[in-house]
Structure 1
Amino acid sequence: MAVHGIDLGTTYSCIASVDDVSRPTVHRNAEDADTTPSVVFFETPENVVVGQTAKDSAVLEPDLVVSRIKRDMGLDVTRTMHGRPYTPEEISAFVLRKLAADAEMATGSRVEDVVITVPAYFGAAERDATRKAGQIAGLNVIDIISEPIAAAITYGVLNPGEDCRILVYDLGGGTFDTTVITLRDGDIEVVCTDGDHELGGADWDDRLVELLAERFRLEHPDVTDPLDDKQTEQQLRRDAEELKKSLTSRTKHTVRVMHDGRVAKAEVSREDFERLTRDLLDRTVEITRRTLSTARSKGVESFDHLVLVGGSSKMPSVAETLAKELGVQPRLQDPDLAVAKGAALYAFEETYRRLLAGGAREQAEEMAARAGLSSGEQQRIAERTIKTVASRAFGIKAVSVNTRREYVAHLVQANDPLPADVTEGFATLDDYQTRVAIEVMEQAGAEASEAVEDNNRIAEGDLAIPPGKPAGFPIEVTFTLDTSGLLHVTAREHETGQQLDLNVQIGGMTEEDVAESRASLSHLTVS
Structure 2
Amino acid sequence: MIIGIDLGTTNSLVAVWRDGRAEMIPNALGHHLTPSVVGLDDNGDVLVGLAARERLITHPHLTAAVFKRYMGSDRVTRLGRRDFRPEELSALVLKSLKLDAERYLGEPVEEAVITVPAYFSDAQRKATKIAGQLAGLRVERLVNEPTAAALAYGLHQSEPESRFLVFDLGGGTFDISILELFEGVMEVRASAGDNFLGGEDFTEALIDGFIDAVGRPRGLSDKAATPALYQALRKQAEQAKRALSSNQEAEMQVLHDGQTLSWQINDAAFQRLTEPLLKRLREPIERALRDARLKAIDLDQIVLAGGATRKPLVRKLVAKLFGRMPAMNINPDEVVAMGAAVMAGLKSRDESLNEVVMTDVCPYTLGVEVSEQIAPNRFQAGFFLPIIERNSVVPISREQTVNTIQDRQQALHVRVFQGESRQVKDNIFLGELTIPVPPKPAGEISVTIRFTYDVNGLLEAEMTVEDTGEKHRLVIEENPGVLTPEEIEQRLRELARLKIHPREHLPNATLLARADRLYQQTLGEERQWISSETARFQAVLETQDEERISAARQALKQLLDEVEGESWL
TM-score bucket of the superposed structures, by smaller chain: 0.7 to 0.9
Q: Contact 1:128 / 1:506 at 8 angstroms: preserved in 2?
A: no
Per-residue CA distance 1:61-113 (angstroms, 9 max, x = gap) = 22332211111112233233444433221221111111111222222222211
SS at match of 1:336: coil
Match of 2:525 in 1: none
TM-score of the pair, normalised by structure 2: 0.82
Equivalent position amino acid for 1:304 in 2: D
Q: Contact 1:461 / 1:504 at 8 angstroms: preserved in 2?
A: no
CA distance in 1 between counterparts of 2:396 and 2:26 reads 38
Q: Which of 410, 421, 427 is residue 455 of structure 1 equivalent to?
A: 427
Match of 2:137 in 1: 139
Cα 1:464/1:207, change in 2 over 3 Å: same
SS at match of 1:526: coil
Per-residue CA distance 1:219-278 (angstroms, 9 max, x = gap) = x62577564222111011011111111111111122322111111222221222122112
Cα 1:225/1:411, change in 2 over 3 Å: closer
1:13 paired to 2:12? yes
Q: Contact 1:98 / 1:526 at 8 angstroms: preserved in 2?
A: no
Equivalent position amino acid for 1:342 in 2: G
CA distance in 2 between counterparts of 1:185 and 1:262 reads 65
Match of 1:348 in 2: 345
Equivalent position amino acid for 1:429 in 2: I
CA distance in 2 between counterparts of 1:235 and 1:34 reads 25
Match of 1:489 in 2: 461
Per-residue CA distance 1:163-209 (angstroms, 9 max, x = gap) = 32111111100000111111234421001011111010100000111
Cα 1:203/1:510, change in 2 over 3 Å: same
1:174 paired to 2:172? yes
1:305 paired to 2:301? yes
Match of 2:402 in 1: 426
Equivalent position amino acid for 2:110 in 1: E
CA distance in 2 between counterparts of 1:293 and 1:317 reads 25
Equivalent position amino acid for 2:209 in 1: L
The answer to which of 134-143 and 79-88 deviates more is: 79-88
Q: Which of 385, 391, 403 is residue 415 of structure 1 equivalent to?
A: 391
1:268 paired to 2:243? no
Match of 1:360 in 2: none
SS at match of 2:166: strand
Q: 5+ residue gaps in structure 1?
A: 353-367
SS at match of 2:153: helix
Q: Contact 1:463 / 1:492 at 8 angstroms: preserved in 2?
A: no
Alignment: residue pair count: 493
Equivalent position amino acid for 1:340 in 2: A
SS at match of 1:484: coil
Q: Contact 1:124 / 1:506 at 8 angstroms: preserved in 2?
A: no
CA distance in 1 between counterparts of 2:74 and 2:117 reads 19
* C-alpha deviation, 1:383, in angstroms: 4.3
Cα 1:311/1:300, change in 2 over 3 Å: closer
Q: Which of 210, 213, 216 is residue 211 of structure 2 equivalent to?
A: 213
* C-alpha deviation, 1:351, in angstroms: 2.1
Match of 2:529 in 1: none
Match of 2:513 in 1: none
SS at match of 1:386: strand
Cα 1:276/1:426, change in 2 over 3 Å: same
Match of 2:559 in 1: none
CA distance in 2 between counterparts of 1:436 and 1:158 reads 47
Q: Which of 488, 492, 516 is residue 514 of structure 1 equivalent to?
A: 488
Match of 1:114 in 2: 112
Match of 1:403 in 2: 378
Match of 1:230 in 2: 227
Q: What percent of counterpart residues are identical?
A: 34
What are the residue-to-residue correspondences of 1:179-190 with 2, within 5 Å? Answer: 179-190=177-188
Equivalent position amino acid for 1:413 in 2: E
Match of 1:37 in 2: 35
SS at match of 1:60: coil
Equivalent position amino acid for 1:4 in 2: I
Q: Which of 253, 256, 259 is residue 259 of structure 1 equivalent to?
A: 256
Cα 1:312/1:223, change in 2 over 3 Å: closer
Specify the structure having the higher radius of gyration (Cα): 2
SS at match of 1:331: coil
TM-score of the pair, normalised by structure 1: 0.88
Cα 1:495/1:195, change in 2 over 3 Å: same
Per-residue CA distance 1:5-61 (angstroms, 9 max, x = gap) = 100111111000013x21101111112211111111144796322111211111122
Equivalent position amino acid for 2:427 in 1: N
Q: 5+ residue gaps in structure 2?
A: 502-569
Q: Which of 320, 326, 346 is residue 324 of structure 1 equivalent to?
A: 320
SS at match of 1:505: coil
Q: Contact 1:171 / 1:312 at 8 angstroms: preserved in 2?
A: yes
What are the residue-to-residue correspondences of 1:271-282 with 2, within 5 Å? Answer: 271-282=268-279
Q: Which of 402, 425, 435 is residue 411 of structure 2 equivalent to?
A: 435
Q: Which of 489, 497, 500 is residue 526 of structure 1 equivalent to?
A: 500
Q: Contact 2:90 / 2:131 at 8 angstroms: preserved in 1?
A: yes
Cα 1:114/1:480, change in 2 over 3 Å: same
Equivalent position amino acid for 1:392 in 2: Y
Match of 1:358 in 2: none
Match of 2:67 in 1: 69
Q: Contact 1:492 / 1:502 at 8 angstroms: preserved in 2?
A: no
Q: Contact 1:39 / 1:95 at 8 angstroms: preserved in 2?
A: yes
Match of 1:88 in 2: 86
Q: Contact 2:156 / 2:185 at 8 angstroms: preserved in 1?
A: no
The answer to which of 284-293 and 190-199 deviates more is: 284-293
The answer to which of 155-164 and 89-98 deviates more is: 155-164
Equivalent position amino acid for 2:323 in 1: G
Q: Contact 1:490 / 1:502 at 8 angstroms: preserved in 2?
A: yes
Per-residue CA distance 1:277-316 (angstroms, 9 max, x = gap) = 122112212321232222226x997110011110000101
CA distance in 1 between counterparts of 2:310 and 2:297 reads 27
CA distance in 2 between counterparts of 1:433 and 1:502 reads 21
Q: Contact 1:253 / 1:268 at 8 angstroms: preserved in 2?
A: yes
* C-alpha deviation, 1:518, in angstroms: 2.0
Equivalent position amino acid for 2:371 in 1: V
SS at match of 2:276: helix
CA distance in 2 between counterparts of 1:493 and 1:314 reads 54
Match of 2:518 in 1: none
**CA RMSD in angstroms, aligned pairs only:** 2.3
Match of 2:150 in 1: 152
Q: Which of 442, 445, 451 is residue 471 of structure 1 equivalent to?
A: 442
Match of 1:365 in 2: none
